[in-house]
Chains A and B, each alone.
Chain A
C-alpha cells in the first residue's frame, strides 16, 4: 500500500461577486457570470413578508405564488405553460417568510425569450378561479400528507412553542386547513394587486451569459414594471415559552425527536462561532452526538443540528429518529452531550472550520446553487459579500468563542423537547424521562 499522501492547502476562494445594475423600474440586478454553466437560473425576489397576511387568509401568499405559472392575462390557461415549455424552460413561484421568489431555469440559448415570460407571470398573472380553486385543494391535500409524517409533526410543534404566539411564523408558510379552505380567486387577485411590485425587488441571474446581454434582457422584461405597493417590513419575532411533550402517534415504529431553542440571525456577532459549535456538537457526520448515537450505539440513521436564521432572530433545531424502545435513552444521551461537559478542543474547532471553509467552493459549482445562495442573501437583506465575509470570520473563531456562543443560546435546561412516537411504547416515567417533569428554563 502506498503511503498516505499529504495534502496542500486549497487555493483561496471567494463567493463570486456579481455585476450589479438597476433597471428603470428600480429592480436591482445581480448578475453572476459562470462560464460552462449552460442552464441559466434567474430568481426574482420580491419583498413580501408573511406577516402581511390577514389571520383569516393565512396561506394566501403561498397560494398566489403557486398560481403564477398557471396562466397570464396575455397567455391564459395552458398557453402560458406551453410557451415556457416550448423554450425548454421551467418557471415556478414560491412564498417564503419574508419574500416571494419567482424562479426561471432555461438553457442559455432560450433564456432571452424565457425571461419576458417570468416577467409576465409576475406582473400580470391571470389567477383564474379554476386555478386558484384547484391549487387550494392541492394545498389541503399537501397538509394531510405533511401531517402524516412524524418529523413534520415534531418540527411544527417546536416552532409553535419557540416563537411568541403572535408570530405568523409559528404556522406553516402555506397556511393551515381552516384559512386555506376559505381562500378564493377574488382574494388571491386582490392580494397580488396590493403586494406585488418592483419596490426593493432583486433579480438574480446566474449562468454562462455576458453582462450586456443580461442587462438588456432584464431591462426589456422588467424595466417598465410599475406598482404602487408600499414598503413593508417583516414583523419582529420574539421567543415563545418553550415546551416539553410527547405527542402520541399510534402505530409509529420510530420516535421522532426534536430539540429546539430560539436563536440568532446572521448579523449577530456570534453567528460564525455558533456555526462552528453546531458542526462540532451535532451538525456534521463526525459530530459528537451523531458519533455517539449512530456510530457507537446504533440508535439512529443520523442526527442533525442546524441554526436557521430569520431576518431578526432565528431557531436552532436538533432532530433524530430512533427506534421507540431506545428513544428515552437517546434523549438522555443528547442532553448529556448538549451540556458540553468536555470543552471543545482545538482540533475539533480547526476541523470544523476547515470543513466549512474548504467545502464552500465545492457547494457553489452550479448556476442553480450560486443563484440559490444569492437569493438567500437578497431575502435576508444581507450584504452582497456576506459569504466571503462569513468565511473570513470563520477562520478566526476560537474554541472559547465557539463554547461561549453555544452556551449562550443552547443548554439542556433551556431545550424545548418534542417526541412524536407511539406513546405507550416509550415507557416514559419520572425516572426514565425526568426532562418531562421540568419546565423549559429561560436562558440567563
Chain B
C-alpha cells in the first residue's frame, strides 16, 4: 500500500480587540514572509449600476494613503525586494506582500496606513486614471481575446439577472464610467474595516512575534459598528435546460456547460470536486479518455468556481476537433456524463483522484504566498483556519457512495445550462 504524505503546518490564530483575525504559520525553512489580507468583499456585494466597483476600488488601494504617496507603495516594495499584488473575486478582495523577514513590519505598516487613512489621499485624478487602467485591463483580458465574454454569458445563463453572481468582477464599461468619488468613500467605510479582514502570515516569523506586530500596527485601527453581509438565498439546481449560442470570430467551436451546486463551504462540496477530478482531472479520467482520446474534443476541463454565497457553479468546457460539431460533442459528453453519474466512481478511480488531489494541494501549499492565502480563505469561507491541516484527511475519507450520491443529486445532465461558441464563416 502506497503511503500518503502527511504534512502539518503549525498554525496560531487570534482575534484582536478591534475584531481583526490573525493567523500565523511559522516555516523555519524559508527566508521570507508572505502577508495576506483577505477582505470579505467582492463583486457579489456590488449594487446594480456599479458593477466592477470592488475591483476598481482595489486599484485605488495602491494610490496612496496619509503617509504613503501615490505610487510609493510599489516603490517601497521594490526597495525591500518584496513583491505584492491584489485580486478581486466574487466573494473577496485579496492583497498580498511577500517580503524578506526583515521587512514584514514595514508591510504591516503599509497595510495599516491604507486601512486607516485611504480616504485622506484618494482624489478624482486617482479615480479617473485607475478607471482608465481598469478599462484597459477589461479590454486586454476579456474584450480583445476570443471567448473573452464566455463567463459573462455563463453567469447570465446560470443565475437570475438580479443575483449577486449574475455579473463578473470586471464589471461593465458603462458602470465603471459611472463610479464616483462618493462611491469610493461609501465603499471604504462599509467594507474596509478590521472586523471584515483576516491577516495571515506564513514564513520566517515566530507566532508570538507575528501577533505582536500585527497587533502593534493593525490593532489600533478603529472598530466600526458591526454591519454583516446580507445572506444570499441558496438556489436549487437548474431544471429547465437553458441554452445560448454565440457566433463569433473564434478559432474553434467550443461548448461550455454549467451546473448550480451548493457553496464551497457546504459539507458536500468536497465530494463534488473529487467527482469532477474523476471525470476530467487527468489523462486517465473518463472525459479525457472518452472525448479526447477518441478525437472528438481537443481538450476538456471541469472545475468548480469556488463561490460561497448560496451557491457555487461547476463549469465543464470542451473544444471541438476540426470536423466535429458542437452538437456531436455535447451529445457524446452528456452521454459519458450520464454514464458516470449512474455508475458512480470505481474505487480505483476515486483512489487515483485522491492521490492527484494530494499532489495538487501540497504543490499549492509549497509556497508561502499561496499557503497564507489558503489559510485566510479557509478561515473566511469555512470559519476554519486549520482546514489546511485536515483538507487531505477529509478528501481521503470520502467514499465512492458519498461521491456518487453528491454527483447524482447536483450534476445530472438535465440540470445543466449550455453555451456554444460557433465559428463565424
Per the bound structure, the CA–CA distance linking A85 and B348 in Å amounts to 11
The interface-forming segment of A46-54, A264-272, A294-302 is A294-302
- The reply to whether A361 and B31 contact each other, CB–CB distance below 8 Å, is yes
A2 interface residue (CB < 8 Å to B): yes
Residues of the B chain whose Cβ atoms lie less than 8 Å from the Cβ of A298: 128-133, 136
B363 and A10 within 8 A (CB):
no
Q: Are A321 and B283 in contact (CB under 8 A)?
A: no
Q: Which of B184-192, B262-270, B352-360 contacts A (4 or more CB under 8 A)?
A: B352-360
Q: For A297, what are the chain B residues with a Cβ–Cβ distance below 8 Å?
A: 129, 132
B71 within 8 Å of A (CB atoms): yes
Given A10-B101, A358-B80, residue A301 in contact with residue B109 (CB < 8 A)? no
Closest 10 CB pairs of A and B: A358-B81, A298-B132, A88-B355, A10-B100, A81-B283, A144-B251, A36-B29, A366-B366, A301-B137, A362-B32
Tell me, yes or no, whether B284 is within 8 Å of chain A by CB: yes
Q: How far is the CB of B97 from chain A (nearest CB, A)?
A: 10
Q: What's the minimum C-beta distance from B412 to chain A, rounded to whole angstroms?
A: 27
Known: A141-B251, A141-B298, A299-B132. A359 touches B362 (CB 8 A): no
CA distance A303 to B162 in the complex (A): 37
In contact, B32 and A4 (Cβ under 8 angstroms): no
Q: Does B319 contact A (CB under 8 A)?
A: yes
A7-B110 Cα distance, complex, nearest whole Å: 13
A2 in contact with B129 (CB, 8 Å): no
> For residues 362 through 402 of chain B, which have their beta carbon under 8 Å from a beta carbon of chain A?
362-363, 366-368
Looking at chain A, what size class is its interface with the partner chain?
Answer: 35 or more
CB–CB B217/A7 < 8 A: no
* Least CB separation from A249: chain B residue: B144
CB pair B144–A252 under 8 Å, yes or no, is: yes
Q: Is B102 an interface residue (CB 8 A)?
A: yes
Complex Cα distance A297/B133, Å? 9
Does A37 count as interface, using CB distance less than 8 angstroms?
yes
Contact B136 A13 (CB under 8 A): no
Q: Min CB distance, B95 to chain A, in Å?
A: 14
A105 CA to B5 CA in the complex, in Å?
14
Q: How does the 8 Å CB contact mask read for A1-19 relative to B, with 1 for contact and 0 for none?
A: 1101101111101000000
Q: Which residue of B is nearest A34, CB measured?
A: B29
In the assembled complex, A35 has its CB within 8 A of some CB on chain B: yes
Binary interface encoding of chain B residues 271-309 relative to chain A, with 1 for a CB under 8 A from any of its CBs, else 0: 000000000001110000100110100110000000000
Could you pull out 30 A-B pairs where Cβ atoms are within 8 angstroms? A5-B105, A5-B106, A81-B283, A82-B352, A85-B352, A87-B2, A107-B362, A134-B292, A137-B298, A141-B321, A144-B251, A148-B146, A149-B145, A253-B144, A285-B74, A294-B133, A301-B136, A321-B144, A351-B78, A352-B78, A354-B81, A358-B80, A359-B82, A361-B31, A362-B81, A362-B82, A365-B30, A365-B31, A365-B368, A368-B363
**Complex Cα distance A9/B31, Å?**
13
**Contact of B358 (CB < 8 Å), options: A88, A322, A357, A368:** A88
- A251 interface contact, C-beta 8 A: yes
Cα(A108)–Cα(B356), bound, Å = 13
Q: Let me know if B129 and A295 touch, CB within 8 A.
A: yes
Q: How far is the CA of A238 from the CA of B146 in the complex (A)?
A: 35
**Contact across chains for A286 and B251 when beta carbons are under 8 A apart:** no
A168 vs B144: C-alpha distance in the bound complex, in angstroms?
30
**B319 close to A141 (CB less than 8 A):** yes
In the complex, what distance in Å separates the CA atom of A254 from the CA atom of B363?
Answer: 36
Report A189 CB to chain B, min CB distance, Å.
20
How far is B282's CA from A85's CA once the two chains are assembled, in angstroms? 8
Asked if A367 meets B352 with Cβ closer than 8 Å, knowing A137-B322, A148-B146, A148-B250, the reply is no
A10–B298 touching, CB < 8 Å: no
- In whole angstroms, how far apart are the Cα atoms of A87 and B352 in the complex? 8
Residue of A nearest to B30 (CB): A365
CA distance A21 to B101 in the complex (A): 34
When C-beta atoms are compared, the residue in chain B nearest to A285 turns out to be B74
User: When chains A and B are docked, how far (Å) is the Cα of A149 from the Cα of B141?
Assistant: 11
Complex contacts, B216 vs chain A, CB 8 Å = 2
